[in-house]
Amino acid sequence: MSGKRVNYYKHVGKAAEHLMAVEALLEHSSLDPRLLELVRLRVSQINGCSFCVNYHTQVLNLLEETPERICQAAVWEEAPCFTEQEKAAFRWAETLTKIADTRFISDELYQTTVDAWGEAGISELTMAVGIINTWNRLGIAFHSDHGLIDQLMRAKRAELAGV
């Protein structure tokens, strides 16, 4: 890794707080919290954001997701531990994350995802994918400090404990 980068939060903290507010709304959406974290993990793997992969893996452990499902998120298409509905979410997330490659979402993929998740679910999934892609870009561009993960995990534990 090269030298130290700008602390983006110092300059766009208000905007980052708005991203966190959207994240908080998604936490209370119709999406299962573990699925939401698995999607965030998978998108972060695709984008190569080590900070986000590290963080979302720890959150999944906190949510008591199985090690098998965490490890197999990268190979979800072949993994028998995911339901067809979860695979539809992964397929949608991957397609949106790689949209620059195709600039196209097929009607078949769209309809399959709506069938699996409903209109609210596909809308929430799309928002979640968009937000994690934004965090990934910030993390990669500014080499987010992995030391911050402990602080984020303390906050997540408190949130889950209802504190």
Which pLDDT tens digit goes with each residue over 48-83? 999 999 999 999 999 999 999 999 999 999 999 999
The superfamily CATH assigns to domain 12-158 is AhpD-like (1.20.1290.10)
- Dist. CA 6–CA 137, nearest whole Å: 14
Residue 102: pLDDT band with limits 50, 70, 90: confident
Residue 98 predicted with pLDDT over 80: yes
pLDDT digits (tens, 9 = 90+) for 1-38: 567 889 999 999 999 999 999 999 999 999 999 999 99
- Dist. CA 133–CA 111, nearest whole Å: 23
Q: Where are the beta strands (DSSP E) in 10-122?
A: none
Residue 118 predicted with pLDDT over 80: yes
Contact 124, 26 (CB under 8 A): yes
Cβ-based neighbours of 139, under 8 Å, separated by 6 or more: 49, 50, 51, 52
Q: Number of H helices and number of E strands within the chain? A: 8, 0
42: which 2 tokens?
């998978």
Spans of all domains in the chain: 12-158
